[in-house]
């Protein structure tokens, strides 16, 4: 006949205080408790703490748990449940080395302590792969970027070509083609939106070469069979700004070209120039124009000598001093016509009489 002790559910146990030494068994949780005459529900048979073992009963979870231990209280080792960070790093490093049986071309170094930042560093020597039979390593000849390339203030140098479908922008810098190089582009835009009247964008050609016959610095080549093709250098002038352009006004200089040189005192001065001017009433799609041809005289005075207006009128600006008839040096022999100048006007040829100047 079996010995039976007090029993009931855990809920019944917690509401009762048992005599000292009285044993209680919970039928639902299958746990054993013992009374001490004071604590309601009794205490677990293992006691509130197992001395010397670091074990304690947790009444909430109803489990015996390890307490008061740190990582240094458990010896390290692969056979222990505790696995330190140092051992983990060492094990991973060893596994990497084991994955390269001949250890050719790849060297792994890894942390021995936590103070070494727990890093695993790999060094790869591609030349060593020749011993493994890899004699032809081919680079990717068409690499692609997954995003924008930031060269971080470094340069891209080398021999070869850069082919781009799109725009090339040099902000605060220059695009240089040296050693007889070429820049091929459908359009080259030099813009400056800083402020009206300030020119920071420019195209500058500097050379010390003495071009041979037929070797010009600016060559515009056109090869086709269309006789009506129109080629031009376009100089477009507006008022306002690049973003807000407004109409030019009569008297505005559209653009000019100057031929300059260095004079004997070291200064750079103009010698010959051509300039275009808006002259007349500006209308919708209409800008009457006038062109000036200027030269510098013997005194260095630079001013227009010939002007052609909107209606085809040609103005000749007389030099300093007026020609007079006479027999003295520099005067006009008005007695007889020395020769004639042949001109064509509206398709008809005419003769302009010319008189000799006494020398």
Least confident span in 28-32, 192-196, 290-294: 192-196
The CATH code of the domain that includes 34 is 2.10.10.30
Do 313 and 297 share a domain, yes or no? yes
pLDDT tens digits, 265-308 = 999 999 999 999 999 999 999 999 999 999 998 889 999 999 99
Range of the domain at 111: 72-132
Checking if the pLDDT of 83 tops 60, the result is no
- From start to end of 6-128, where are the E strands? 6-8, 23-26, 32-34, 43-44, 49-50, 55-58, 63-66, 106-110, 120-124
pLDDT tens digits, 102-157 = 555 666 665 555 555 556 666 666 665 555 555 565 677 777 888 888 888 888 88
Do 64 and 77 share a domain, yes or no? no
**What's residue 196's pLDDT?**
47
- H-assigned helices in the chain: 10-14, 85-98
Instruction: Report pTM.
Output: 0.49
Do 51 and 111 share a domain, yes or no? no
**Is 15 within the bounds of a domain?**
yes
> Each residue of 261-277: b (16+ CB within 10 Å) or e?
eeeeeeeeeeeebebbb
Checking if the pLDDT of 199 tops 50, the result is no
Domain boundary among 69, 85, 105: 69
Helix (H, G, I), strand (E, B) or coil at 97: helix
Do 24 and 12 share a domain, yes or no? yes
Domain boundary among 97, 116, 132: 132
Distance from C-alpha of 63 to C-alpha of 67, rounded to nearest angstrom:
12
Least confident span in 25-39, 52-66, 192-206: 192-206
Q: Within 13 A of 339's CA, how many CA atoms are on the CB side? A: 4
**Is 281 within the bounds of a domain?**
yes
**Is 178 within the bounds of a domain?**
no
Residue 269's Cα: distance from chain center in Å?
Answer: 40
Domain boundary among 105, 132, 159: 132
Do 11 and 36 share a domain, yes or no? yes
Give the total number of structural domains in the chain.
Answer: 4
Checking if the pLDDT of 90 tops 70, the result is no
pLDDT tens digits, 249-266 = 999 999 999 999 999 999
**Is 230 within the bounds of a domain?**
no
**Residue bearing the bigger pLDDT, 239 or 130:** 239
**Is 295 within the bounds of a domain?**
yes
**Residue bearing the bigger pLDDT, 97 or 285:** 285
Q: List beta partners, residue 34.
A: 23, 43
**Is 172 within the bounds of a domain?**
no
Distance from C-alpha of 272 to C-alpha of 295, rounded to nearest angstrom:
4
Do 343 and 307 share a domain, yes or no? no
Supply 21's token pair. Answer: 């030494």
Confidence category of residue 197, pLDDT binned at 50, 70, 90: very low
Mean of the per-residue pLDDT values for the chain? Answer: 76
Task: Answer for the pair 260, 272: CB distance below 8 angstroms, yes or no.
Answer: no
**Is 269 within the bounds of a domain?**
yes
Distance from C-alpha of 45 to C-alpha of 246, rounded to nearest angstrom:
99
**Is 299 within the bounds of a domain?**
yes
Do 62 and 85 share a domain, yes or no? no
Do 33 and 56 share a domain, yes or no? yes
Number of C-beta neighbours around residue 18 at 10 A: 21
Do 36 and 55 share a domain, yes or no? yes
């Amino acid at each position: 006949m079996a010995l039976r002790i007090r029993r009931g559910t855990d809920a019944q146990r917690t509401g009762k205080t048992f005599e000292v030494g009285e044993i209680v068994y919970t039928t639902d949780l299958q746990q054993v408790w013992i009374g001490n005459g004071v604590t309601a529900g009794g205490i677990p048979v293992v006691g509130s703490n197992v001395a010397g073992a670091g074990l304690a009963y947790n009444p909430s979870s109803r489990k015996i748990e390890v307490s008061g231990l740190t990582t240094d209280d458990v010896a390290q080792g692969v056979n222990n449940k505790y696995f330190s960070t140092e051992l983990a790093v060492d094990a991973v490093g060893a596994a990497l080395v084991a994955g390269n049986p001949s250890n050719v071309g790849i060297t792994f170094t890894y942390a021995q302590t936590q103070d070494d930042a727990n890093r695993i560093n790999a060094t790869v020597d591609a030349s060593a792969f020749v011993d493994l039979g890899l004699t032809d390593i081919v680079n990717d000849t068409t690499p692609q970027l997954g995003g924008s390339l930031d060269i971080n203030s470094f340069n891209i140098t080398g021999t070869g070509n850069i082919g781009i479908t799109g725009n090339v922008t040099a902000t605060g810098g220059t695009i240089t083609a040296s050693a007889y190089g070429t820049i091929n582009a459908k359009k080259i835009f030099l813009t400056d939106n800083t402020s009206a009247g300030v020119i920071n964008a420019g195209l500058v050609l500097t050379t010390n070469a003495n071009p041979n016959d037929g070797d010009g610095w600016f060559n515009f080549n056109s090869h086709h069979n269309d006789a009506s093709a129109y080629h031009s250098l376009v100089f477009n002038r507006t008022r306002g700004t690049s973003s807000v352009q407004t109409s030019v006004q009569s008297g505005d200089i559209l653009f000019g070209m100057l031929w300059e040189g260095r004079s004997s005192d070291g200064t750079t001065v103009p010698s010959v120039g051509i300039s275009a001017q808006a002259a007349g009433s500006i209308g919708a799609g209409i800008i009457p124009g006038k062109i000036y041809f200027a030269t510098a005289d013997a005194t260095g005075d630079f001013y227009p000598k010939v002007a052609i207006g909107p209606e085809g009128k040609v103005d000749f600006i007389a030099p300093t001093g007026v020609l007079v008839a006479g027999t003295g040096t520099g005067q006009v022999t008005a007695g007889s016509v020395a020769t004639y100048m042949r001109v064509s006007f509206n398709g008809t040829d005419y003769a302009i009489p010319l008189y000799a100047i006494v020398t």
